[in-house]
Amino acid sequence: MFGFSSLELEALQISLKVSLWSVSLTLPLAMGVAWLLARKKFRGKAVLNAVIHLPLVVPPVVIGYLLLILLGRKGILGSFLNDWFDIGLVFTWQGAAIAASVVAFPLFVRPIRQALEGVDPRLEEAAITLGADRRQAFLAVTLPIVMPGVLTGALLFFARTLGEFGATITFAANIPGETQTLPLALYAATQAPGGDSIALRLVFLSLVLAMGALLASEWLSRKTHFKVHGS
Amino acid sequence: MLTIEAGHRFIDGANIFRIDASFSAPDTGVTAIFGRSGAGKTTLLKIIAGLLRPDFVKIKVGNTVLCDTQNDAWVPPEQRRIGYVFQDTRLFPHLSVKGNLMFGRRFNPPPHSPELSFDAIVSLLGLERLLDRGIHNLSGGEGQRIAIGRALLANPRLLLMDEPLAALDPDRKSEILPYLEGLRHSLDLPIIYVSHNLSEIRRLANWLAVLDEGQIKAFGSVEEITGQMDPSSLAGDGDTGTVLAATVTEHMNTHGLTKLSAAGQPLLVTQLDLPPGAHVRVELRPQDVSLALQRPENISVLNIIQGSINAIRASPKRPVVDIQVNIGSSKRPVHLWARVTRFAAERLSLKTGMPVFALIKAVSLDKDRVGLS
């Protein structure tokens, strides 16, 4: 197809798999954290906020290495997972998804949090006087209003996980057919003699994917924003 | 009966605010809660709706006890079916007008009476042309009508309205008042209406509770309370005054006047579009009432009502004096208030018990001051 080799298409497929799984598994967590930060007052809120934003300022390699320490076969949590559930995350695409998710997490939380902060909590109060309980009030009022923020967050997050390199190569390594995403394949191609044409095709794939995600994000958020805010 | 009893202490730093309010009103009709800002009106409404859980509360609507903290009875707010119209409308921005109106339908039992059907409410509030619109770019009056419709369509057993007109300019107010009057006449639903505008209360309410510093200072019919309480304590964001009950007796078409009977005495007002026998309410501003010791002759004032001074409210700080005049009998007193300068009161040596004549110009009693009760 378009002269792409099976290795390149495999990298594309792994990238999509890693990113899509990341989005769907991180979504509830991002919602929960955004809600805590936007609506609740608690001790250690500033610390939680800082920890979440850490990946924005720390080199991804550092995140990858921390993940190795935490989730590696001999890691604090990793050895427990390995011994009790026979789950190994290092060198697997699931590991790549975790690494990418941690790095991109702040991009997911921020837009949702901002959207939640923009919703008047008294609207839920109004919903309650109309017969909705707290859960129904959130689902029927707050959630639809913050939907543009959720979509923006999801797509920013998706695009960021597509491009993740440092944490992924450190924690999940660069294994063709398992953890070799587009950027990792591109890196490999630039290291191999005569890999220029492969590299160019991978660059093209990456750009198309990222542009597609950003345009979709823009379009979706404008559409939902119009519905919610009317302008 | 609608019974409300609430007690709560709020501690905010060194300040303690205490709500200690109770009243019982008939099941139908509008009970106005009048009070200055900070009197605890909104807090009381939130307690009734269940949005605030106070130290002590008992609420009974008809035969249903919604909460009684002494007997551990507590119906959560979403199950109370108490409609709440907020001052700031709080319409849902992601829904159309129709979506807002229908919001409460799925959470509540369908209404028994046809007056609360979707079509009936939409036409009562004049919302037909707005249904498919979003809630942005609505006028304040439209937004408030939608908020009222939304509350009514949730099939409430009691409707709370928190100064629904306070945020509107005078034009919008007069646009929406007829809808509220329509609501009062066509729905068999108790309404608690918070306001600090006596004209609104005269037009809409049957009963009046005066709330001050968290306490109900007076409760009774609007006529009774406005006759009893001195006008300065009922001064809100509009005119203060007395509300008199009257009946249309005849029209004087050639003069463009209508003759009413109030407390057995004739009262001429500018012509009304109401049949003889209609019960009306007249809002008398105390500054529109003059007093004379003898019946004046050769004077343009058409209404000269005999009465006697019942009370005088003077304060050295104010240049005016409020004088309560009983124009009924001693057995069935009907009170109105006149406001004169302290200088005038001293010159006439006005004293409690003195017979006086209250002078009221018919032109001061126009359509804005007289309406159906």
For chain B, what is the domain count? 2
Query: Least CB-CB distance to B108: which of A128, A131, A140?
Result: A131
CATH number at residue B284: 2.40.50.100
C-beta atoms of B104 and A231 within 8 A: no
In a domain, A1, yes or no: no
C-beta atoms of B134 and A230 within 8 A: yes
Determine the pLDDT at residue B16. Answer: 83
Q: Is the pLDDT of residue B96 over 50?
A: yes
**C-alpha dihedral sign at A84, A85, A88, A89:** negative
Q: How far is A11 from A178, CA to CA, in rounded Å?
A: 9
Residues on chain B touching A126 (C-beta within 8 angstroms): 84, 86, 90, 92
Residues on chain B touching A120 (C-beta within 8 angstroms): 90
Helices A93-117, A45-57: axis angle to 10 degrees equals 130
Q: Nearest C-alpha of chain B: how many angstroms from A40?
A: 18
Q: Is the pLDDT of residue B362 over 50?
A: yes
- The residue from B231, B261, B276 where one domain ends is B231
B172 backbone dihedrals φ, ψ, rounded to 5°: -65, -35
- The residue from B199, B231, B263 where one domain ends is B231
For chain A, what is the domain count? 1
**Residue B305 amino acid letter:** I
Searching chain B, which residue's CA lies closest to the CA of residue A120?
B90
Looking at every residue in chain B, the average pLDDT score rounds to 90
- Asked if the C-beta of B149 comes within 8 angstroms of chain A's C-beta atoms, the answer is no
ipTM for the predicted complex comes to 0.85
> What residues make up the domain containing B211?
2-231
CB-count exposure of residue B300 (10 Å: 0-12, 13-18, 19+): exposed
> What residues make up the domain containing A40?
6-229
Q: Are A78 and A72 in contact (CB under 8 A)?
A: yes
Long-range contacts of A195-200 (CB under 8 A, 24+ apart): A198/A5, A198/A7, A198/A8
Q: Are residues B28 and B148 in the same domain?
A: yes
Q: Are residues B184 and B274 in the same domain?
A: no
C-beta atoms of A140 and B103 within 8 A: yes
Interface residue of A120, A128, A130 to substitute, partner B, most B CBs within 10 Å: A130
- Asked if the C-beta of A135 comes within 8 angstroms of chain B's C-beta atoms, the answer is no
Determine the pLDDT at residue A1. Answer: 46
CATH number at residue B186: 3.40.50.300
Q: Nearest C-alpha of chain A: how many angstroms from B294?
A: 58
Q: Are residues B319 and B249 in the same domain?
A: yes
- Asked if the C-beta of A229 comes within 8 angstroms of chain B's C-beta atoms, the answer is yes
In a domain, B265, yes or no: yes
In a domain, B356, yes or no: yes
Determine the pLDDT at residue A31. Answer: 94
Residues of chain B above pLDDT 90, percent: 57
Read off the pLDDT band of A231 (50, 70, 90): very low
User: How many beta-carbon pairs under 8 angstroms link A with B?
Assistant: 66
Instruction: State pLDDT tens for residues B165-219.
Output: 888 888 888 888 888 888 888 888 899 999 988 888 888 999 999 998 889 999 9
- Asked if the C-beta of A223 comes within 8 angstroms of chain B's C-beta atoms, the answer is no
- Asked if the C-beta of B77 comes within 8 angstroms of chain A's C-beta atoms, the answer is yes
Q: Is the pLDDT of residue B236 over 90?
A: no
Q: Are B258 and B271 in contact (CB under 8 A)?
A: yes
CATH number at residue A74: 1.10.3720.10
Let me know the angle formed at the C-alpha of A202 by A200 and A207, rounded to the nearest 5 degrees: 95
Instruction: State pLDDT tens for residues B263-288.
Output: 889 999 999 999 999 999 999 999 99
In a domain, B237, yes or no: no
Q: How far is A19 from A13, CA to CA, in rounded Å?
A: 10
Query: Mean pLDDT across the stretch B246-262?
Result: 94
Q: Nearest C-alpha of chain B: how many angstroms from A19?
A: 30
Q: Are A67 and A102 in contact (CB under 8 A)?
A: yes
Torsion of CA B298, B303, B309, B311, to 10 degrees: -130
Searching chain A, which residue's CA lies closest to the CA of residue B136?
A230
